[in-house]
Chain A
């Protein structure tokens, strides 16, 4: 998967800000600094996609589609987020 398009990154950035507002969480961060973090996280995911694929054992590595592998990773991260203190 390629990196997200600029409009997709903007939408993600806006959602993060809306989430922070909805939870009324104080955040000492500027809009531009959060946007830079979004860009970096997306670039990191892209740069490490091959390493993630290699980490998957066979036969999952070859049986799952790219989107299924992305869904697997998303669920793992989501669960880790849910159970983290």
Chain B
């Protein structure tokens, strides 16, 4: 069984690092994060780990293509879980766990059509109830780990975080 535990929307995303996706209001009045095709861009969402958390976690990323009708995309998700009292300066330091890679996923044949990409978060930074957490998302645009061949931006319209409860 799975349970939706977080609904992460474009407007609540935080920029991460120096390259981050542009937040756009589309012609349909939806909001989207536009991930570049040539440069890896990243954003994150912060949340508190909920009561009843049951591993594994799964991230489901809803995407649509801006101009591509052929090819594949690759996505990476990282979890940071800070337990109260951890020796981590949260003002200056991040402590994301190892990357979780998506499959190289074939895109829809029409621009604007949505597609869900599921990533099981086996690297979860030993997340536990009450931890202050971040989910970091980036498109592997430079193809360093996953083949990402589609031309042009990809919109992220939302991310669902599930656990196994």
Q: Which residues of A contact B (CB under 8 A)?
A: 10, 13-14, 17-18, 20-21, 23-34
* B36 lies within 8 A of A18 (CB): yes
16 further interface pairs, Cβ-Cβ under 8 Å (given A17-B151, A31-B148): A14-B38, A14-B39, A17-B37, A17-B67, A20-B66, A21-B37, A21-B152, A21-B153, A24-B111, A27-B67, A27-B151, A30-B150, A31-B38, A31-B149, A33-B151, A34-B151
Q: Which residue of A lies closest to B109 (CB)?
A: A28
Q: Quick one: which of B9-43 are within 8 Å of A by CB?
A: 34, 36-39
* Chain B, interface SS category: loop
* B149 lies within 8 A of A20 (CB): no
Bound-complex Cα distance A15 to B79 (A):
32
- Please give, as numbers and ranges, the residues of chain B lying within 8 Å of A27 by CB-CB distance: 67-69, 151-152
B70 at the interface (CB under 8 A from A): yes
Rounded to whole Å, the gap between the CB of B19 and the closest CB of chain A is 12
Q: Which residue of B lies closest to A23 (CB)?
A: B67
- Please give, as numbers and ranges, the residues of chain B lying within 8 Å of A10 by CB-CB distance: 38
Q: Which residues of B contact A (CB under 8 A)?
A: 34, 36-39, 66-71, 110-111, 148-153
* A31 lies within 8 A of B37 (CB): yes
- Please give, as numbers and ranges, the residues of chain A lying within 8 Å of B149 by CB-CB distance: 30-32
Bound-complex Cα distance A60 to B39 (A):
42
- Please give, as numbers and ranges, the residues of chain A lying within 8 Å of B153 by CB-CB distance: 17-18, 21
Inter-chain residue pair count (beta carbon < 8 A): 61
* A29 lies within 8 A of B37 (CB): no
* A30 lies within 8 A of B66 (CB): no
* Chain A, interface SS category: helix
Bound-complex Cα distance A24 to B152 (A):
9
Rounded to whole Å, the gap between the CB of A85 and the closest CB of chain B is 21
Bound-complex Cα distance A14 to B39 (A):
8
Bound-complex Cα distance A23 to B34 (A):
13
- Please give, as numbers and ranges, the residues of chain B lying within 8 Å of A31 by CB-CB distance: 37-38, 71, 148-151
* A20 lies within 8 A of B111 (CB): no
Rounded to whole Å, the gap between the CB of B138 and the closest CB of chain A is 17
Bound-complex Cα distance A8 to B19 (A):
19
